[in-house]
Structure 1
């Protein structure tokens, strides 16, 4: 399951970067430390973040290749849990502790940051439940 969690951390980072940074444009990786008007710096920060996400995904794939195939529920659950771990770590470290950026800066930024943390917790719990779910019925082999 460790490989699936690592894969989920990288995928979660990609989803955050693509949706929140690029599609919604709510923030960039370094927008809490530097003026958002410096788009070259914002693009470099986002690019380095995406490069890190790619490295993490590749590590997750390499770890998957070193283990027996995971049941689909374990793979899916691990990916969801890893995405949640990404949200929790990024939310606490980048948003709350370092202030590198906030989910959506402005008067309600704390609410957005807390919602991001809540989504991380929900993803971790959902992933663990899915990965640990036992099959309730057995299919007949007759």
Structure 2
């Protein structure tokens, strides 16, 4: 017999929040790539290591941006599959607050983890590449913390 912290017949948001968190991670990556890499063009995946001011540099960064987008597409697809399985379960409490909160939490996790690894540890790019490491890198981390806390609060308000 498997131990569980769900009372017999009670509903939980656990599977829903797992799915939403994974979707949020993917959507956070898409937001970063689409807004910062493509629309604003203030950085690319390797722009601190491979400058984009030559055709070769731009092409190298474009390939790495594409690999990054493929990765966040996979995360989003996995999140959608998890969501599909969650909504089919009879023990899942379907809650818009829990789903929205978990997506915010995932988006925040993306910002925090990607910011720590890529901006601070590996320094392969910075939020506003022309400035190098700057206050914008810390604002990005702070946005991750705010999103995580906001998402967590929303999930908690949904109950489980």
TM-score (normalised: structure 1) = 0.90
Please give the root-mean-square deviation of Cα atoms over the aligned residues, in Å.
Answer: 1.5
The Cα offsets for residues 80-135 of structure 1, whole Å up to 9 and x where unpaired, read as 00000000000000000001100012447320000000000000000111111158
Which of 118, 125, 128 is matched with 2:149 structurally? 125
Q: Superposition pairs for residues 1-142 of structure 1, below 5 Å? A: 1-37=17-53, 38-68=57-87, 70-107=94-131, 109-134=133-158
TM-score (normalised: structure 2) = 0.80
- Can you give the 5+ residue segments of structure 2 that lack an aligned partner in the other structure? 1-16
What is the aligned length? 135
The Cα offsets for residues 6-46 of structure 1, whole Å up to 9 and x where unpaired, read as 00000000000000111111000011111212111111111
Distance in 2, Cα, partners of 1:3 & 1:39: 35
Q: Secondary structure at the match of 2:146?
A: helix
Q: Secondary structure at the match of 2:137?
A: helix
